[in-house]
Structure 1
């Protein structure tokens, strides 16, 4: 019945099942007969109202707004919510029922958070780290938090300095890399500027290719954590600093697993273009990247995610094959789709146990 939310509006766009002719879409006020709305429609109403009411959690939205087959209220995305006000924390935890926070930021970025963050103070914390010997991502220690019933924040860093520069070496054209190395013999500053020129020219598409290539275990872990949370009936909010780059790639993979057409994935990504922030895990503050083109890295143009999707097709055979190759197998992708698109989550979970 539900198609999708019309943003910045007090209306929902719905398909009316009794229509035999005429337009298949009608605009229905959010306040129209809430007591007789189907559960999914009530959840969209709640999610949409919460998104409009949210004043201190930027770039916030439900993945269901991108693809109408996803049940609203299960997986949401935003920029870092560490500065959320008491009212917004209440919206997240009590109105939307968020119980799993997936923090995709680096340790450097975590240190920027206000120690008095209301949301994080009410959440447990579990860090994940890659074992460089096995290449696997594992939880570090046990979850720290108020009680087992409180929300838990899982920290899986998708962008690290060492991985970024390693990936950069493989993605910059050989002649450009050779030229930069040769210049380094004469002047380190000239060498730095030569590399910076390539980084600025590559822009966000280059960054996304590096992330997809160098953070495979981390992407797999994030997808697994989302599935595990949904299996437990715990709604998920995932985020990075700006909520567009790392968050945008995770959203693209989750949407792809659900069968979302790529044009809709692109449109969901482009919604972040109005929130201009550059967030490269603190790498942008390093001296070697002095002169980075902020205008390029603050935007969220359709071309950036389009090129990332094209890269997945050319290099891996598409998003589904990419997920399979990083360890999130076809059966797991199908299960994630069921968990996000089955209206009754309890039924979906029970059927999976049969």
Structure 2
């Protein structure tokens, strides 16, 4: 299905799960198209702060309830998920969940894996940025830039993906739990561009279902075409605003290939990774059944 205002849209699991870029800009015509798919749930991998920065029309807010998701780590038990309705809407059965992948757990993890001198430099930079924002009253402009500089590692996009699976484990658990619940299907998973955070979740879902690595790689690579209309915006957001390499805008096959190899090398398999973040074997079997219908 083609959307005029929803780039990078495609099917992950027919009738169960779709993926796309942000839904903030969806037009009235595309609201009707989404309705025809019967989508009941949107799992948005942005933070509420990212949402609040958007000046888009956000027509879906009139239909889908906005729900904030908080995850509490309880190792060795599974994480605890808490839901807070931020904004009610006309449909009680349609919900737009926000599961932030770039949270304190993620930032702490990416700092801790670095050499001590890089950690000290990053912390000092963030303190200085905070002071500048306070003095200049810039609504955390410099702190955001300093934080994103830590998230978008100078080691490139592959390390960024590795950091997501290693340190956004609570958010990963929450997103997959919501998406694979039959009461929430059909569902749509998205982030800002639908290329990176969304790609990791889609890859794990396909991995749960036993799809081949080539299937996962091909699905990822479709974002090269799917984000063409977004490329200038992505360049401004990522490269100009935060000084990241242009390679962060790509969705090359070799990136996903090496990412999947990393999952196998570090965790053993996608299944083993999911077990490590809080799911049980019974959970995985139920998730497969729910996704396969």
Q: Secondary structure at the match of 1:63?
A: strand
1:251 Cα shift? 0.1
Between the aligned partners of 1:236 and 1:244, the Cα distance in structure 2 is 17
1:337 and 2:279 are equivalent in the alignment: no
1:179 Cα shift? 6.7
Q: Is the 8 A contact 2:195 2:220 kept in 1?
A: yes
Which range is displaced more, 270-279 or 205-214? 270-279
Q: TM-score, normalised by structure 1?
A: 0.66
Between the aligned partners of 1:211 and 1:247, the Cα distance in structure 2 is 11
Partner in structure 1 of residue 26 of structure 2: 84
Pair 132,339 (structure 1): closer, same or farther in 2 beyond 3 Å:
closer
Q: Is the 8 A contact 1:217 1:326 kept in 2?
A: yes
Q: Is the 8 A contact 1:58 1:81 kept in 2?
A: no
Q: Say which of 232, 255, 258 aligns to 1:304.
A: 255
Unaligned runs of 5+ in 2: 130-144
1:132 Cα shift? 6.7
The 5-angstrom pairing of residues 10-159 of structure 1 reads 51-52=1-2, 54-64=3-13, 72-93=14-35, 95-114=36-55, 116-131=57-72, 136-140=80-84, 144-149=88-93, 151-159=94-102
Pair 179,216 (structure 1): closer, same or farther in 2 beyond 3 Å:
closer
Partner in structure 1 of residue 138 of structure 2: none
Partner in structure 2 of residue 44 of structure 1: none
Q: Say which of 283, 292, 300 aligns to 2:244.
A: 292
Unaligned runs of 5+ in 1: 1-50, 65-71, 343-354
Between the aligned partners of 2:41 and 2:253, the Cα distance in structure 1 is 29
Q: Is the 8 A contact 2:208 2:288 kept in 1?
A: yes
| TM-align CA RMSD | 3.4
1:248 Cα shift? 0.2
Q: Is the 8 A contact 1:130 1:137 kept in 2?
A: yes
Number of residue equivalences? 265
Specify the structure having the higher radius of gyration (Cα): 1
Q: Secondary structure at the match of 1:88?
A: helix
Pair 184,261 (structure 1): closer, same or farther in 2 beyond 3 Å:
closer
1:247 Cα shift? 0.3
Pair 227,181 (structure 1): closer, same or farther in 2 beyond 3 Å:
closer
Q: TM-score, normalised by structure 2?
A: 0.78
Between the aligned partners of 1:104 and 1:63, the Cα distance in structure 2 is 16
Between the aligned partners of 1:199 and 1:221, the Cα distance in structure 2 is 23
Partner in structure 2 of residue 178 of structure 1: 117
Partner in structure 1 of residue 274 of structure 2: 323
Q: Say which of 229, 235, 253 aligns to 2:204.
A: 253
Q: Is the 8 A contact 2:28 2:59 kept in 1?
A: yes
User: RCO higher in 1 or 2 (8 Å CA, sep ≥ 6)?
Assistant: 2
Q: Say which of 169, 182, 198 aligns to 1:216.
A: 169
Between the aligned partners of 2:117 and 2:123, the Cα distance in structure 1 is 10
Q: Secondary structure at the match of 2:155?
A: helix
Between the aligned partners of 2:166 and 2:252, the Cα distance in structure 1 is 21
1:112 Cα shift? 2.7
1:259 Cα shift? 0.7
